Amino acid sequence: MRYIDIFAGCGGLSVGLQNAGWQGIFAIEKNKDAFSTLKYNLIDHGHHFQWPDWLDVKEHDIKKFLDENEDKLRELEGQVDLVAGGPPCQGFSLAGKRDLSDSRNKLVKQYIRFVKLVKPRALIFENVHGFTVHFQSQKGRISQYSSYVINKLEDLGYRTDSKVVDVSEYGVPQKRRRFILVAMLNANPSEVFAHLESNKSNFCREKGIKQSTTIQDAIGDLEEANGTCQSPDTKRFQAGFYGRAESGYQRLMRQGLQNHQGAVDSHRFVNHSATVIQLHRDLLDNAPRGKRITPDDGYVENLKRRGVTVLDANSQAPTITSIPDELVHYEEPRILTVREQARIQSFPDWFEFKGKYTSGGKLRKKEVPRYTQVGNAVPPLFAEQVGRALMEVMNG
């Protein structure tokens, strides 16, 4: 069963599909840093993609790629079982500005164009919940991008079904609601959602994890108290070691590591100032756990962030985003590391992240550093379950 991943990011969806038994053909991702992470893990070391000779193994802009390779893509018709992926979500997110004119929203049309050329047997499209919510423009027009995509796919002969799914019900330790659209040429997409729902408890049991995984289940073995050393990839920073694995989820995330020694990949601690450390201590002492608070709530003084959540060790995290200082560790006076956020997103620990850790200012619109790569990804553990359900339905 062969698939193409478009708008692939750092490869979260592909990791899940790989674990479900799918074979990648190639992946399209515009950003250099995100693609370098995907390339390192799934091409250079994982050998997951059967990359075609006519396509350079590098980052590609989807529109330019389509303009230059229409004939090659038409030749793939009948050879591709699945096209996976969804356009960047920032323009649709309810947590953002929801600008109808955001140029990233127009990438939906490139998605449809890609599908029209390749004509895969099936599609899996993932995006934020806001993808289903109407835009109200200044001219009074109303746009709902999910309806646009569904109508276009049905015009191409696909049967479609869609749901808003919370991945916290599938073993992933975060409350993350996502719009999932399945489209199929010769099968009923509703059966995919039925398989996904009926299989989730057995899947978690097979993996040795709880269906409702807590924060402590996920990252309890990554505390700074385990000790630190010089960060292997950044000067003047400290990185952390593993503690003892205390949960099935921690053991699952560590699978695939060969005789690991030293610092955990991307487990670099932020160099907080004394003032910020004190702020985090005040938050740990006074703020409610698991609830997003703002400066106006008055729990602590000197809170200048738009919003912050002190994690509840015995519950799930809120949605992991690209802004790391929105979450404070449940016990230590600090924000999370990239590896801790990756754990909450269900990336296995063998998956190494490349590029900068963070960006600021105007660079945020151009760069996709490690925290952003993690926040933008599809949780691999959920993607694996979707991949299994698709395969079951498509194989009858």
Residues taking part in catalysis: 89
SS3 139: coil
The Cα–Cα gap between 305 and 126 comes to 29
The Cα–Cα gap between 198 and 219 comes to 28
The Cα–Cα gap between 358 and 335 comes to 13
| Nearest one of 77, 27, 59 to 354, comparing CA atoms | 59
Work out the end-to-end distance of the chain between its first and last CA atoms, rounded to an integer number of angstroms.
13
The Cα–Cα gap between 350 and 19 comes to 13
- Give me the torsion for CA of 90, 96, 100, 101, rounded to 10°: -70
What would you report as the CA-atom Rg of the chain, rounded to the nearest whole angstrom? 21
Tokens representing 259? 């005789």
214-251 residues labelled b (16+ CB within 10 A) or e (exposed):
bbbbbbbbbbbeeebeebeeeeeebbbbbeeeebbbbe
| Nearest one of 351, 370, 321, 382 to 13, comparing CA atoms | 382
Strand partners, 109: none
Q: Is 7 left (phi over 0), alpha (psi -120 to 50) or beta?
A: left
Distances in Å between the alpha carbon of 198 and those of 123, 284, 298? 21, 39, 44
SS3 179: strand
Strand partners, 240: 228
